[in-house]
Amino acid sequence: MTEVSMTVNGRPVRADVPDNTLLADFLRENLELTGTHVGCDTAQCGACVVHVNGRAVKSCNIFALECEGAEVATIEGEAAPDGTLSAIQQAFQDHHGLQCGFCTPGMVMSAKALLAENPEPTEAEIRAYLKGNICRCTGYHNIVRAIMAASGQDVSNIAAE
């Protein structure tokens, strides 16, 4: 067991964990932040994406101990304290960018990282950026629309072209 401390969604946290504890398990088991999901164990599905020091990271592929002293942001910190959804979250709801909801936290965190890098991404840029996030429900159509909408683009007439 080794002590680890970090800031998660602005709150300082500290725990003794086995050295091989993954960040995803630390968040889910130690902090009971179960919004971060584990869908594949091999860094493919992206349901576990969180931000570590502002970068999107697959939390199933990083040890908690590697995040010593880091600023970690998870889906639980995305809405305003009064519950108001962020622009990205609201766009996902408005454009039906989720169905079962399991991949959604990772999608939202990846989308947030994308828009921080590229405030008005094209369809192709969004699709390329989401390569590391698998959704089995939506066929991605409405996820891409939601992210375009969250960046202020008009998506009212999007269909196959």
Partner 1 sequence: MPADGGIGASTRRREDVRFLTGQGRYTDDINIHNQAHVFFLRSDMAHGRINGIDISAAEKMPGVLKVFTAADFAEVGGIPCGWQVTDRFGEPMQEPKHPVLAEGFVRHVGEPIAAVVADTLQQARDAAEAIEVDIEALPAVVDMAAALEDGAQKVHEDLKSNLCYDWGFVEENRDAVDEAIRKAPHVTTLELVNQRLVANPVEPRVAIGVHDRADDEYTLYTTSQNPHVIRLLMGAFVLGIPEHKLRVVSPDVGGGFGTKIFHYQEEAFCTFAAKVVNRPVKWRASRSEAFMSDAQGRDHVTKIELALDEEGHFLAIRTSTLANMGAYLSTFAPSVPTWLHGTLMAGNYRTPLIYVNVRAVFTNTVPVDAYRGAGRPEATFQLERVIDKAARELGIDPVEIRRRNFITEFPYETPVALTYDTGDYHATMDKLMELADRDGFEARAAESKKRGRLRGFGVNCYIEACGIAPSNLVGQLGARAGLYESATVRVNATGSVTVMTGSHSHGQGHETAFPQVIASMIGIDPSQVEIVHGDTARVPMGMGTYGSRSLAVGGSAMVRAAEKVIDKARKIAAHLLEASAEDIELKEGRFTVKGTDKSVAWGDVTLAAYVPHNYPLEDLEPGLEETAFYDPANFTYPAGAYACEVEVDPETGKVTVERFAAVDDFGTIVNPMIVDGQVHGGLGQGIGQALLEGCVYDDEGQLLTASYMDYAMPRADDLPFYSVDHSCATPCTHNPLGVKGCGEAGCIGSPPTIVNAVVDALQRAGHDVTHIDMPLTPSRVWAAMQG
Q: In this chain, which of 2, 93, 118, 122 binds partner 1, going by CB under 8 A?
A: 93
Q: How far is the CB of 150 from partner 1 (least distance, A)?
A: 12
- Cα distance between residue 27 and residue 63, in whole Å: 11
Question: Tokens 């091989």 label which residue?
Answer: 20
Contact between 150 and partner 1 by CB under 8 A: the answer reads: no
∠ CA(109), CA(142), CA(155), 5° rounding?
A: 105
| Residue (41 or 120) nearer to partner 1, CB | 41
What tokens were used for 68? 């010593």
| Count of Cβ atoms closer than 10 Å to residue 95 Cβ | 20
36 near partner 1 (CB under 8 A): yes
- Asked whether 103 and 111 are in contact (CB, 8 A), the reply is no
Q: Which residues bind partner 1 (CB under 8 A)?
A: 18, 28-29, 33-42, 44-45, 47, 74-76, 78-79, 83, 85, 89, 92-94, 96, 98-105, 108, 123-124, 126-128, 130-131, 133-144, 158-161
